[in-house]
Chain A
């Protein structure tokens, strides 16, 4: 490997360590990891700030605003804030901090940005419908052997594999 310093950890070791993080989350708090829930908190609090009446009337937003729940102080928000800092520390340690738009040389920057936006929107929408994303539903769900976790995991990876051919230009 003659790469310029950006060597990654052995994937099996990384997986084992990630498993330990997951396990400590179960042992300490009884819940697994998550990510999309924090993004939702951001959306819910923004909507509630901009249009409070609208948010309280909506059957979706009001679920997360009832009582004295403060979405921005929620557990997942703090956890994802940790992800941000943890990722930054790791990037700094391994010398990977760099503003960069990653894409296949076959597509333009504009197309990559459009694709990222659309992909993000699809993932955001799907994670709400599926009650969790790859971390919250699939990874955590698999560790506790929940049927929902395995079904969601297979739906995510199955679809991605099935559609991979049509989007090959984006990546290879």
Chain B
């Protein structure tokens, strides 16, 4: 039964090797999907390229369904899987700041690393900016500490908070995603930008 590393005595070196291999797959798929291009990523917000929506939601659904079925067949102990802690205020405020960073800079941290790997200069500057941003947060942490820890609601699951089973929530997310995929593909045709698509 999984997860393997916390359940069995796995040496730290092996765990780090696993981290490297998972990262390898992560970076390869991101690059193959085209996440190494800021204009492709930004296309999501102007409708000319919705790759981000497609990849992101397909991945989330795959992971979600995979976990549900693995749990059902007794292959994984979900109580050992990390569940993000929910600090309401900081999740929302942090998310808004990240959203602004996304549209201004054109990357998120994961995609910027992958884009820098194939030589995108803008991505390298984005990573530099990220280091500065984290440094600023670290230096001014006492100012934000209250906000950072405000409204702690614990490790809450969305399914529990709206009162449905995990499976039903999965169905809701899947239906919503499929609807978004269809709308997005229509938008992609409507806002088509041949000039940009040929460049990226």
Contact = CB atoms under 8 A, between A and B. Distances in A.
A and B touch in the complex (CB under 8 A): yes
Interface of A: 2-3, 6, 8-9, 11-12, 14-33, 35-36, 39-40, 42-44, 47, 58-61, 73, 75-76, 78-91, 94, 96-104, 112-113, 115-135, 137-164, 167-168, 170-172
A149 to B, nearest CB: 6
Contacts of A121: 101, 129-130, 132-133, 136
A102 B21 contact: no
B4 to A, nearest CB: 5
B95 A151 contact: yes
A171 B36 contact: no
Contacts of A31: 81-82
A20 B62 contact: yes
A101 B169 contact: no
Given A118-B104, A123-B109, A146 B84 contact: yes
A152 B91 contact: yes
Task: Please provide the 9 A-B residue pairs with the shortest distance between their CB atoms, ordered closest to farther.
Answer: A119-B105, A82-B23, A130-B94, A19-B62, A120-B129, A155-B95, A15-B58, A159-B99, A124-B133
B21 to A, nearest CB: 7
Contacts of A159: 95-100, 102-103
Contacts of B116: 84, 87
Nearest to B142: A59
A144 B67 contact: yes
Contact of A81 (B5, B20, B157): B20
Interface of B: 2-6, 15-34, 36-40, 42-46, 48, 51, 54-64, 66-67, 70, 75-76, 78, 80-88, 90-123, 125-139, 141-142, 144-145, 147-148, 153, 155-159, 161, 166, 169-170, 173, 193, 196, 198, 200
Contacts of A143: 59-60, 63-64, 67
B186 to A, nearest CB: 15
A113 B36 CA distance: 16
A102 B91 contact: no
B24 to A, nearest CB: 4
B92 A78 contact: no
Given A30-B82, A146-B86, A148-B84, A39 B193 contact: no
Contacts of A170: 42, 104, 106
Contact of A43 (B20, B83, B114, B135): B135
A124 B161 contact: no
A135 B8 CA distance: 26
21 contacts: A15-B62, A18-B33, A19-B66, A27-B70, A43-B134, A61-B138, A78-B17, A79-B23, A89-B27, A90-B29, A90-B32, A102-B39, A121-B133, A125-B134, A132-B84, A143-B63, A145-B158, A147-B157, A148-B84, A148-B86, A159-B100
